[in-house]
Structure 1
Amino acid sequence: MDAIQRVIDHAERRCKENGSRFTKKRKLALSLLLKSGKALSAYELVEAYKTELGDTMPAMSMYRILEFLMAENLVHRLDLINKYVACEHIKCEHEHAQTQFLICGQCQKVKEVAISAPIMDLLKKNTSDAGFHLASPQLEINCICQDCMSTELRAYSVGRY
């Protein structure tokens, strides 16, 4: 059994424990996100679904599937780029720390990392001290991944810039 199938099986067990149905289309949407290795929009998922199955799915159906997957903590929505990414901690049984997403602005690769409680407390305090209320503790940071940085450096070194 491959790694993606193990994650899907675990997600299915988790949904069953929560009293939710993990339908074939929901499984496929999560599988497509896991296979992609990067963030995808609902429309990109619709295209991937069509490529994978040779069948069409309305975008609204994909949005409903993504809402379900988010409610089950299997997928995260990234507001910065308006895309979705599979949770990197689906198979974990422990409570998760606050999440920070490092998002490559070029290739859309995403890395999910935990934020320690003291740092999160400081962010909340700074927000409050500035007269604001933290609407969402999810942090998204626009970055450039090492692969894209290496590509840019190679292009620069051969005189393409």
Structure 2
Amino acid sequence: MNNVNTILEHAENSCKSHGARLTAKRKLVLSSLIQSEKALSAYDVIDLCKQEYNESIPAMSVYRILEFLETEKLVHKLKLANKYVACSHISCGHAHGVPQFLICGKCDLVKEISIKSSTMSELKNDVEYAGFQLASPQLEMNCICNNCVENAA
């Protein structure tokens, strides 16, 4: 939990630097995402807040909070799954590459890695050559984590 508190402190300072507030309910939602290794839907967050914190947050509020946290770059929305994960770089003070999400198809474990700008530039060129425009640089890859591979063996 100490690590979560440190991450929340960084998140709070980041919000303050943008003139925004990380309210108590926003902290609960962010804490839920930080503590989960899996991507969570808004309804997963509602259930987790009720179970872990004995706090009932209406669905519309959770959606607004998730939107706020995404705008503040504290969480990422996985577009294909319509779920959210906490940014793994909340505590870092430096710029990062384009996020890429590795999602285990068996256990739903999610890991965030960064793509080098040169790789992203090549991908963008390939997309344009194919007659498309890149709508979002965020990539989501379906994978199988090593634990699931070992368990299947």
- Normalising to structure 2: TM-score of the pair? 0.96
SS in 2 for 1:4: helix
Letter in structure 2 aligned against 1:95: A
The separation in 1 between residues aligned to 2:55 and 2:117, in whole angstroms, is 45
Partner of 2:52: 52
- RMSD over aligned CA atoms reads 1.1
Partner of 1:76: 76
SS in 1 for 2:149: helix
Larger radius of gyration: 1
Q: Which range moved further: 57-66 or 124-133?
A: 57-66
Partner of 1:119: 119
The runs of at least 4 aligned residues of structure 1 exceeding 6 Å deviation read: none
How far residue 108 of structure 1 moved from its aligned partner, in angstroms, is 1.4
Identity percentage of aligned residues: 54
1:89 maps onto 2:81 in alignment: no
The separation in 2 between residues aligned to 1:109 and 1:116, in whole angstroms, is 23
Partner of 1:158: none
The separation in 1 between residues aligned to 2:100 and 2:55, in whole angstroms, is 35
SS in 2 for 1:68: helix
Letter in structure 1 aligned against 2:150: S
Letter in structure 2 aligned against 1:31: S
Which blocks of at least 5 consecutive residues in structure 1 are unaligned?
Answer: 154-161
Partner of 2:141: 141
The separation in 1 between residues aligned to 2:105 and 2:61, in whole angstroms, is 27
1:34 maps onto 2:21 in alignment: no
Letter in structure 2 aligned against 1:83: K
Q: Deviations over 1:70-98 (max 9, x none)?
A: 00000000012111000000011111111
How far residue 54 of structure 1 moved from its aligned partner, in angstroms, is 2.3
The separation in 2 between residues aligned to 1:11 and 1:70, in whole angstroms, is 12
Partner of 2:152: 152
Which blocks of at least 5 consecutive residues in structure 2 are unaligned?
Answer: none
